A and B are shown apart, each in its own frame.
Chain A
């Protein structure tokens, strides 16, 4: 069970959070003009990084805020957290 630091509430057990997968996927604003391939890339294709992974989490049993974390997918250690749209706060 991981310990995750919600940028709003502080460190909490993983059971309070839900995982949201890869971060920084931007929904296309011109979906209509995308090819099937471009659209499929957006909907389904994932980096699935081995190593440091930028990912989304939500503190579902807390403040219910989404945030972005950087986590090593090999060791599961978190490196940093950031509020959406904010600069990264280094994990101290």
Chain B
């Protein structure tokens, strides 16, 4: 018997939910998305997702890596999602350290969202980009921010991209 800590699924349900998400992401991934299943199996709280820029967009032909970290409070608490690796997309909402300014990753998170829906949002955020550029406050932010993007007080002001 496990008691319920505030804000947690108990460990077995946490595991089952992530296990189910992993299965469905491997079986029916959004276009251009591929999860590293072996790594995720090893450690369910840390996933790497490979993502290809969609055809016909500014990111066509590029590939990126996303990292998902799940706290024990997942899915009540959003996952920590950052771009990692050598190629960080140049996008007005993506900082050069890989942090992403996307409301569903903090304020607008809901436990009915999933890795799959987050991936889809990020693909679509990249796809709707009209001009490749870094956020205007990139250099300042990257110098001063916390390692965890969820510690940043994001200001969501631009719905267009």
Q: State whether these chains interact.
A: no
